[in-house]
Structure 1
Amino acid sequence: MFVMPPPPPPAIPAPVIREDVRYYAIEGRGEPELVAQMNAKGYRDQHGRYWGYTSPQLKWSFDTQPAEGHCNLVDPKVVLTITTTLPAWTPPAGTSAAMTAKWHAFDRAIRHHEGEHARIARDEARELVALMRRHRRDVTCGGLDASLQAQGRVIMRRAEAANAELDRRTRHGATEGVAMGW
């Protein structure tokens, strides 16, 4: 009698990552006007208002299916949507070259800082895919589901802590140049 080995578990696709940058327009010729505009128009959530903000929305899902004495992971997906909100300023005619240069340095710094938050989110999505690639099969579907959920929560908590540590260490980017003290 010839016995066929069980089919291999399905391939786990790379995460789908979508990134969008949204701008809010600010106006003014100097620091006081720009700060006032960013304070009034920046991204707002329950914790306050931010001049720049990166909002990752991570969704991951999978099903399990029993097959020949074990359980396979089926239909695994990781989808990450990163929305970054930034100020946009066009220097009005007559703005000093020094003010324009300071803005460009600020703009580079805020993009870098928000880019660090986006990198943490991309790493989190890739870690979830790697987790599912390592754990495609288990003895029981309940065990497979519980294991993936528990380890997934660890990955998500680690990303949340990394974001909080980044903001604590940089004072929300201030030590990286996301500050107006001109």
Structure 2
Amino acid sequence: MRVVKSLWRAMIIGLVAGFVWTPALAAPQITETTKTYSVSETTARGLRSEMRNKGPKGFWGYTRWDIRWTPGCRVSARIVYTLPQHSNPDALPDRTRRAFDRMVANLAAHERLHGQNGINAAHEISRANCKGGAAIIRKYNRADKELDRRTNHGARDGVTLD
């Protein structure tokens, strides 16, 4: 009983003194996965057309991030990268295979930049104790659009197939 009274006394003193106990913020839970879609054309021209037709939303690659938080401010980010994968790379002429492999590596690096925007949004929401989360998400959606504008959807970073 004496311990309970001491705890109550300490809590009241803390509140009167202006101290508020807040739990330590947990780091956001980040989940990243990569999905692929299959392409089979064997020429650069054919691959460009096939990726435009089969790729998500008409793009060769795509990143979707989804940020969620609980009323207690546990933040999670789910990031899904979608990239092309050749169904029979041995059928590609050497030059086309090298160009395709280089393009996919550059595309993956570009998409990871989009994923990093999602991760940054999750961390910022967590640091803000989940206040203004929707505005933070809009901020990083704009950052994604600016990244694509600045890089021409990755073309300036080597996401080309010549």
Within-5 A mapping of 1:90-101: 90-93=88-91, 95-101=92-98
How many pairs were matched up?
Answer: 148
The 3-state SS of whatever aligns with 1:4 is helix
Deviation by residue 1:10-66 (Cα, 9 ceiling, x = unmatched): 22211011111110000021112211211221102xxxx11100000111232xxxx
Residue of structure 2 aligned with 1:38, choices 41, 51, 57: 51
1:21 aligns to 2:39 (yes or no): no
Task: Give the 5 Å matches for 1:122-161.
Answer: 122-132=119-129, 149=131, 151-161=132-142
Q: Where in structure 2 are there 5+ consecutive unaligned residues?
A: 15-19
Q: Aligned residue for 1:4?
A: 10
Aligned residue type for 1:119: Q
Distance (Å, rounded) in 2 between the aligned partners of 1:99 and 1:21:
23
CA distance in 2, matches of 1:103, 1:120: 26
For structure 1, the residue ranges without an aligned partner over 5 or more in a row are 63-74, 133-147
TM-score normalized with structure 2 length: 0.83
Q: Could you tell me whether the CA contact under 8 Å between 1:20 and 1:84 is conserved in 2?
A: yes
Q: Which structure shows the higher helix fraction?
A: 2
**2:43 aligned partner, one-letter code:** G
Secondary structure (helix, strand or coil) at the match of 1:59 reads strand
* Residue in structure 2 matched with residue 58 of structure 1 by the alignment: 67
Match of 1:163 among 117, 124, 144: 144
- Report the alpha carbon displacement of residue 155 of structure 1 after superposing the two structures with TM: 1.8
SS at match of 2:106: helix
Q: Quote the residue 1:83 is aligned against.
A: 80
Q: Write out aligned runs for 1:96-111 (5 A).
A: 96-111=93-108
Letter matched to residue 158 of structure 1? K
Give 1:8 deviation, angstroms: 2.3
Question: Could you tell me how far 1:98 is from its partner in structure 2?
Answer: 1.5
- Larger fraction in strand: 1
Native 8 Å contact 1:29 1:92 kept in 2: no
* Partner secondary structure for residue 24 of structure 2: coil
C-alpha RMSD over aligned residues: 1.8
C-alpha separation between the residues in 1 aligned to 2:73 and 2:139?
21
Identity %: 29
> 1:117 corresponds to which residue?
114
| Runs of 4+ residues over 6 Å off in structure 1 | none
Letter in 2 for 1:55: R
Distance in 2, matches of 1:98 and 1:40, equals 23
